[in-house]
Structure 1
Amino acid sequence: MRMHTSIFPDFGNEKVFPAFGACPVEVDGEDEGEGRGKGNGNEKERRGEYFLVGSIMEDMTLSPRTPTYVCRDREGGRYAVTLRLGDGENGEGGGKEGALGGGRRYGYMVVVQGARRSGVREENVATGERGKQGFVGVRLGDVGLIPTTVEKLREMSERFRETDGRNVCQGCGKGGEEGGKMNRCKGCESVWYCGKECQVRGWGERGHKGECKVLKAVGEVFGKD
């Protein structure tokens, strides 16, 4: 799951980060991910370069073999993500001991590259049969997890992208060409500082204490050049 970008991903881009309803429907013969994750060299290409992101709202796991979470997408719509466990993967326990940590992960953002909707059924007015919006089925190993909500990450995205990829001190706001040599945060490797004083200011006053883990997770999930 790599975007390979040297700047913060643009989470405001609806084509790259669509809502659940904009994701394509799983084609016949590949329902719930048939053929995924079996060493197919075309798998990454088949998924597509888009990502469904949603904040975990509820743990709806009924079976330890199919951990299920209700998420909220970028438009506030609710949808379900069902995880498929491989050999040696354990989803037992649900709640706090579930595959994604259950209650400890409420509000965290789940990332699924190339998500497709399975189990979709159109409403039949003639028979009165109700439609189904479907769900997303994905291997546990293909899920990215970022410790913040979709809304917070979009706000961070807009703020960090204002620097246009330039190295700017988070403490004083000076660029590398103005402040001389700069040091990168060793935790997330995504923000820069002129020195110790600016690092302390950035950690406390500028809120990096609450964002360092988020930035580190973004780098791990989407990759950096």
Structure 2
Amino acid sequence: MTSSIIDFTNTTLFPTFLTIPEQGPDAVSSPAGERWYLLAEVKDNMTITKPTLVLTDRDANPFALVFEGLGRDDLDLKGLGFKKGASVIIINARRTKPADESKRGFVRIEKGDAGNVTAVPAAMERVLELGGKIKGHSCETCGGNGEDGLKRCTGCERAGYCSKECQVKGWNEGGHKKDCRILRALNDIFK
């Protein structure tokens, strides 16, 4: 479970593609231990010779995510959840300048750093909506407090229910079945 609330509106913690630091010999280094997260949505898989995705950030800036040092079949993008419409969170992403200054830069992920890129099974808009969700003080389904307090969803630990009936209703009718997968993915990234 996350230890603190993540503020997805914080542009220092969640910069856009155009505001992430540049990669290269002249790039300004970041203080040790500093982290930021580039949040984007998969628009297309453009893999030809190496795994490459076209993404857009929260400001709709398109850019490529290129996995260096890997062949076209070395990374199962679809199997890892990098599908069209899914969100991607890249830890400490850096923008690489293109050789042609008239083109956009891209994000390059070296072979050993592929673990810094995580897929979240939802559109970026939904990730932003759910990102800061914390444990509630009332039942997700009926709004009550329950006689014995709330029982937490064992999947995401963020949703609470006053009874088994409310939990089943929240899961089947309230949309928690889908949201739970998203919240679990976010918990894994921000633990």
Quickly name the TM-score band, shorter chain normalised. 0.7 to 0.9
Number of corresponding residues:
185
Question: What is the deviation of 1:168?
Answer: 3.1
- Taking only the aligned residue pairs, the percentage that are identical comes to 33
Task: Assess if the C-alpha contact under 8 Å between 2:88 and 2:119 holds in 1.
Answer: yes
Cα deviations by residue, 1:56-98 (Å, 9 ceiling, x for unpaired): 11111111xx311000100111111112457xxx7508xxxx5
SS in structure 2 of the partner of residue 45 of structure 1: coil
**Amino acid aligned to 1:189:** E
Distance 1:198 1:61 in 2: 45
Higher fraction of helix:
1
Larger radius of gyration: 1
Larger relative contact order, structure 1 or 2 (CA cutoff 8 Å, min sep 6): 1
**What are the equivalent positions in structure 2 for 1:132-151 lying under 5 Å apart?**
132-138=103-109, 139-151=113-125
Task: Assess if the C-alpha contact under 8 Å between 1:190 and 1:216 holds in 2.
Answer: no
The answer to whether the aligner puts 1:20 opposite 2:17 as a matched pair is yes
The answer to whether the aligner puts 1:70 opposite 2:54 as a matched pair is yes
SS in structure 2 of the partner of residue 181 of structure 1: coil
The answer to whether the aligner puts 1:172 opposite 2:142 as a matched pair is yes
Distance 1:109 1:214 in 2: 10
Runs of 4+ off more than 6 Å: none
Question: What is the deviation of 1:120?
Answer: 4.1
Distance 1:85 1:198 in 2: 49
Residue of 7, 31, 52 corresponding to 1:10: 7
2:126 equivalent in structure 1: 152
Question: What is the deviation of 1:104?
Answer: 6.9
Pair 200,220 (structure 1): closer, same or farther in 2 beyond 3 Å: same
If the length of structure 2 is used for normalisation, what is the TM-score?
0.82
If the length of structure 1 is used for normalisation, what is the TM-score?
0.71
**What are the equivalent positions in structure 2 for 1:181-192 lying under 5 Å apart?**
181-192=149-160
Distance 1:189 1:137 in 2: 34
**Cα root mean square deviation, aligned:** 2.9
Residue of 158, 181, 185 corresponding to 1:213: 181
Task: Assess if the C-alpha contact under 8 Å between 1:71 and 1:81 holds in 2.
Answer: yes
Distance 1:99 1:85 in 2: 14
SS in structure 1 of the partner of residue 3 of structure 2: coil
Pair 100,207 (structure 1): closer, same or farther in 2 beyond 3 Å: same
**Amino acid aligned to 1:99:** D
Structure 2 unaligned blocks of 5 or more: none
Task: Assess if the C-alpha contact under 8 Å between 1:85 and 1:140 holds in 2.
Answer: no
Residue of 164, 181, 198 corresponding to 2:166: 198
Structure 1 unaligned blocks of 5 or more: 31-42, 122-128
Question: What is the deviation of 1:44?
Answer: 9.6
Distance 2:24 2:172 in 1: 49
Residue of 67, 80, 83 corresponding to 2:67: 83
**Amino acid aligned to 1:5:** S
